[in-house]
Structure 1
Amino acid sequence: MKKNALLDAAEALLSEQGTQALTLTAVADRAGVSKGGLLYHFPTKEALVKGLVARVIEEFDALVAEHEDGAPGSYSRAYVEATFEILTGEARAHRRWSAIMAAATDPELAAPLNEAMTRWHGRAPDEDPDPVTGVIVRLAAEGLWEVLSHTPELYGTARLDALKQRLLALTRG
């Protein structure tokens, strides 16, 4: 069994049933593996939560890097592209929400996500043609992510695309 399949099972449990459902036994059952199979990859619940958080951070960092081209406003555009890729992809918005929910019970588990947020939103504002607009665009993407984490059916494909195009246009000054 691969780690990602175990993390997927944990995310599904969190998304469907909340933090009380996140037990090693429940994750193993959901993933269709023995508890020993799960423990091989994640020996504790804390290790599992750390895995959820690390995957969210790594995935978002990779997507931003993939879309960034160094031009003015590039980071904010990459941030929007990465956000919408996740929001409209298979993983949807529940991935980060699940990691946040699981990590919220322990400040130590939440620390890597808090550090990533500081890094994601702490980039030099002079990278954008209009630094305030760049911050607004990234915060709007965050807000949309939060809303869709709880109500994924709220916006249809056409409306999401319109929102994305408007946010991208704002990054061009």
Structure 2
Amino acid sequence: MKREALLDAAESMLFEHGTQALTLSAVAERAGVSKGGLLYHFPTKEALIRAMVTRVIEEFDDRVASLDDGSPGGYTRAYLEATFEVLGGREAALTRRRWSAITAAAADPELIAPLREAMARWHRIDPGREPDPVGAAVVRLAAEGLWEVISHAPDAFDAEQCAAVKRRLLDLIDP
């Protein structure tokens, strides 16, 4: 559990103060552990950021997998449902905090590589699973655009607007 608490502390630092404030000493202090305790789990700042990025990816993968019923179009529906859950559900504030890890990693090709790999996997067109592979790709790309907008402007859409966008995107999958 200590590892998760350290990741939470690092995310909070990033979200509240930006990448310049993310130091191992500051994270250790925020988490209430010694710097040595932090170094046991994360020997470098890069290792800490990599772990935060990995956690974001794994949590999203798990959510999509739990929603995918295996039916034609099921993956894209699950992807869309997962996106709306994390952006507008009870965990929206946590999602925005977690997403700050992606921002911290974005400037370093090595740190952002796991996200690039996940994006390629998430957006690979599988004609065997999608009745309309191109339409499914459009829906997933639109969901990515929503992530981008919400990450920079959390209040850009109210709940009613988000619901309307979601309905329209679902209609593209299941007309």
Pairwise CA distance, 1:126: 4.6
* Partner Cα separation in structure 2 for residue 135 and residue 100 of structure 1: 22
Q: Would the aligned equivalents of 1:129 and 1:172 in 2 still touch at CA under 8 Å?
A: no
Query: Which residues of structure 1 form unaligned runs of 5+?
Result: none
Report the 3-state secondary structure (helix = DSSP H, G, I; strand = E; otherwise coil) of the residue aligned with 2:95: coil
1:169 is matched with 171
* Partner Cα separation in structure 2 for residue 141 and residue 8 of structure 1: 25
TM-score where L is the length of structure 2: 0.89
1:63 is matched with 63
Pairwise CA distance, 1:23: 0.8
Pairwise CA distance, 1:117: 0.6
Percent identity over paired residues: 64
Q: Deviations over 1:87-139 (max 9, x none)?
A: 1232233423x222221232111111111111111141452222221111101
The reply on whether 1:118 has 2:123 as its aligned counterpart is no
Mean CA deviation greater in 162-171 or 69-78: 162-171
Trace 1:17-166 onto structure 2 (pairs within 5 A): 17-88=17-88, 89-90=90-91, 91-96=94-99, 98-166=100-168
Alignment size in residue pairs? 172
How much is the aligned-residue C-alpha RMSD, in angstroms? Answer: 1.7
Q: 1:32 to 1:159 in 2, by over 3 A?
A: farther
Letter in 2 for 1:24: L
* Partner Cα separation in structure 2 for residue 40 and residue 151 of structure 1: 36
- Structure 1 runs (4+) greater than 4 angstroms displaced: none
